[in-house]
């Protein structure tokens, strides 16, 4: 790759190149180049011409898309929750229908849906948008739905130290739709419960009763 092409890659992806030393930057540029060559090979293997007009820039587009799908690796998602407020609220806080788009680590196929994140505060409450930002940070990684659910619950537990945390995720997995078993109506629900939500069925029921009503907003 020419020096100019290398510079172009480094400029296009400042988030992965900015903070590293020169050796690390060169390693990432090499990896980017190998990845794009591999995508070219894959196009050929599948039976198309990687040099035709519509595909010529595809390796670069795929690299760009993958760096976007995985931008959560380049942040600490739970750090968003550190923005807390002293508000004397002792009851449920539930942010529902947080849409997310993640990447199945087995097939690199998307899975997407909504996360419902609730907690009963102890002393600290966090900004509502920070919960959604944290969900984004864990979703934008190679994931399985169960780990995503657990990581969200554990982040709330660790940073806010609430009386309890409950997370429910509903998602559709593209690896089950257009390929493999091809069940495009199937969706998957997962939950994680901690503290008072694990101990008290009434507290879980309160969370679930809110979800049973369609959001009117």
Q: Is 170 a catalytic residue?
A: no
**Contact with ligand GTP (CB under 6 A): which of 7, 34, 83, 106?**
106
Query: In the bound complex, what is the minimum distance in angstroms from residue 59's beta carbon to ligand GTP?
Result: 24
**Contact with ligand GTP (CB under 6 A): which of 43, 104, 134, 168?**
104
As a whole number of angstroms, the distance between CA 120 and CA 132 comes to 17
Long-range pairs for 209-213: beta carbons < 8 A, 24 or more residues apart: 210/92, 210/94, 210/96, 211/96, 211/116, 211/168
107 is in an annotated binding site: yes
Nearest CA to 102 out of 43, 147, 57, 156 is that of 147
Residue 62 within binding range of ligand GTP, rule CB under 6 A = no
Among residues 182 and 213, whose Cβ is nearest to ligand GTP? 182
Q: Is 116 a catalytic residue?
A: no
Q: Is 173 a catalytic residue?
A: yes
**Cβ atoms of 196 and 82 closer than 8 Å:** no
Residues at the contact surface with Zn ion, assessed by CB under 5 A: 104, 106-107, 109, 175
**Cβ atoms of 128 and 89 closer than 8 Å:** no
Residue 146 within binding range of ligand GTP, rule CB under 6 A = yes
The residues carrying an active-site annotation are: 104-107, 145, 173, 175
């Amino acid at each position: 790759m020419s020096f100019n092409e290398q510079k172009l890659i480094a400029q296009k992806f400042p988030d992965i190149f900015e903070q590293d030393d020169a050796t690390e930057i060169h390693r990432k540029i090499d990896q980017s180049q190998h990845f794009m060559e591999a995508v070219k090979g894959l196009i050929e293997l599948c039976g198309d011409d990687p040099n035709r007009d519509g595909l010529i820039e595809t390796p670069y587009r795929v690299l760009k898309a993958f760096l976007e799908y995985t931008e959560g690796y380049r942040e600490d998602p739970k750090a968003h929750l550190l923005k807390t407020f002293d508000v004397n609220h002792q009851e449920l806080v539930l942010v529902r229908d947080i849409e997310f788009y993640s990447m199945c680590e087995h097939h690199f196929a998307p899975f997407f849906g909504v996360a419902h994140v609730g907690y009963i505060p102890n002393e600290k409450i966090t900004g509502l948008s920070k919960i959604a930002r944290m969900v984004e940070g864990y979703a934008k990684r190679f994931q399985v739905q169960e780990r995503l659910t657990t990581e969200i619950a554990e982040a709330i537990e660790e940073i806010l130290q609430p009386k309890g945390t409950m997370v429910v995720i509903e998602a559709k997995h593209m690896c089950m739709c257009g390929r493999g078993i091809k069940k495009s109506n199937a969706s998957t629900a997962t939950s994680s419960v901690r503290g008072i939500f694990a101990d008290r069925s009434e507290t879980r029921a309160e969370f679930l009763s809110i979800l049973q009503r369609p959001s009117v907003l």
